[in-house]
Every structure is written in structure tokens, then in C-alpha cells.
Structure 1
Amino acid sequence: MPSPKTLLVLLALAAAPFASAFAADPFEKIDGEWNALRQRADVDGLEKLMDERFVLVHSDGQVQHKADYIAELRNRTRVNGPILNEDVTVRAFGDTVIVNGVSVQSAVSNGQPWNGRFRFTRVWRQQGGAWKIVSSHSSRIAEKAR
């Protein structure tokens, strides 16, 4: 019978090919922080999380950059309600991670309430040991597509 130490080494070697498939899973927590900060309008937290070249493409085709989005939250022309993610997949490619999923959310923008289900793609990049969101895109899911 092999020793416990030998069994542990064999188990680690057997699991090695699968490690990259599971390595990105904890990333859902990092991506979830993006939603939490937006929900709280924590502009200081968002400033740290967002790359300087950040681009946000909304479901209506509107494009915002970091400064525009931060200003919108700071001056409360956009107030996010609950933001929940479903069916999230995370794929890692070296220092880049792509997160896809469905977001169920509501907000008030320029005094107009809205809500919906959206498919999203977010791109994150590790820079200087920290993960920064580089891009986010969403597409509204039509009622009949559900």
C-alpha cells in the first residue's frame, strides 16, 4: 500500500491536466465584485477595478468609457438596482479572462426605470498583480428567446 504522501503526489499528478479548467472558477467572485460595486455606486472601488481604457457597450448600442460611467454613478444619473448573474462561464487565457453569462438587473437612468435580462461578455486582464476590467458588453434577451 502506498504511503499517504505518495497517494497525494499521484492524485496531484492525475489532476494536473484538469487544473486549468478549474483555475478560473474563483474568478466568479472577482467578477461578482464588479456588480456589487456598481450596485453600491462605489466609484472609488470601481476606479481601482477598471482599466483606464475601459469600454462599456450597453444593450442599446451606447458606448461609454471609464470616466463617463464613473461620472454617471457619481452624480446619480444612473442608480443600479439588484444585479444577479446566471449561467456564468469563465475562460482564462494567460493574463486575460473572459466571463460570459446572463445578468438580471434593474436601474434608473436619467429618471427612467428599466429592467431586463441581458447576455454579457466581460474581459478582464491582470495588470501588476491585480485584475482590471477592460471591456463589458451586454445584449438584451428578447422575451421570446427565453
Structure 2
Amino acid sequence: MTIDQQLDELGRQWMAAELSGDAEALDALAAPGFTLVGPLGFILVKDQWVSRFREGALVMHEMSWTDVTVREYGDTAVAIGVLTQRASYQGAPADGRFRVTQITVRDGDRRRLAGLHYSPIAAPPARP
């Protein structure tokens, strides 16, 4: 399986787990040192990221992961793509469109998430 295929499969598993709120699947997908940098600059370690789903605080209604480019650096690979989501956090809307950097590491014969970094994609300026 090519690195593109591996990360495509990991992306499908990640989205399926978030959409179904499957905290155990997310826990298994993430490496022990996993770190998320959120769209407002906050940082979550693995347990904090997973607990948002376990507790039902973050609910994903729709997700898409598109325009993905992949670079491999030995046992590490970086995928950069566009994540569009319709979601709620503690009942408040958490919709958005983000440029996401996904860092993965080789763990035996599979890949695991080592980090996610979300950056909001600004709406284009209004034309006069």
C-alpha cells in the first residue's frame, strides 16, 4: 500500500470515528504523544481530545476531508488538506472550514495520528 493509500484509509477511519463519536476508535488511531492544536490556538493532548467525544461535548454532524497532499519523511508523514465540518461543541455551533495539517507516524504495519493542527480558512472578502 502506498503512503497516499495509507493516509487516505487513516483519514476515512478518523472521520468515521469522529462522526460516530467513537472515542475508543479515536484512542486507537492516536499515538501516545498525540497533540491537537485547535483553530483558536488551544492545545489538547490525546486524553483531552478523546474525552470530548467520550463525554459527548463535541458532536460531529458532517465532515469532509478534501484537497489532501501527502509528504513522507522516513517514519513520519504529513498530510495537509481541507476539513469542512458541521458540528456542535457543548450544544453551540462549531461549524467551520479549516486547513488541517495531519502528522502521522509509522507504528508497526500501520499509521497513527501524532498530531492535528487546525487553521481556519477565512471567507473571501466581499466584493464592492
The TM-score, its normalising length taken from structure 2, stands at 0.90
Q: Report 1 or 2 for greater relative contact order, CA contacts < 8 Å, sequence distance ≥ 6.
A: 2
Q: 2:2 aligns with which of 23, 26, 31?
A: 23
Measured against aligned partners, the alpha-carbon deviations of 1:22-72 in whole angstroms (never above 9, x if no partner) come to 932202122221111111111111111101111001101111111111111
Q: Given residue 119 of structure 1, which amino acid in structure 2 is its aligned partner?
A: R
Aligned-partner Cα distance in 1 for 2:35–2:50: 12
CA RMSD, 1 decimal: 1.5
**Identity across the alignment (%):** 30
Number of aligned positions between the proteins: 124
Equivalent residue, structure 2, for 1:53: 33
Matched-pair contact (CA < 8 Å) for 2:99–2:118: yes
Paired AA for residue 87 in structure 1: D
CA contact (8 A) 2:37 2:43 kept: yes
Aligned twin of 2:106: 126
- Kindly report structure 1 stretches of 4+ aligned residues shifted beyond 3 Å: none
1:78 aligns with 2:55: no
Distance 1:129 1:23 in 2: 12
Relative to the length of structure 1, the TM-score reads 0.79
Higher strand residue share: 2
Q: Which residue is equivalent to 1:43?
A: 23
Whose helix fraction is larger, Structure 1's or Structure 2's? 1
SS of match in other structure, 1:144: coil
Q: Runs of 5+ in structure 1 lacking a partner? A: 1-21
The answer on whether the counterparts of 1:28 and 1:90 sit within 8 Å (CA) in structure 2 is no
Segments of structure 2 that go 5 or more residues without pairing to the other structure are: none
Give the conservation status (yes or no) of the 8 Å contact 2:67–2:81.
Answer: yes
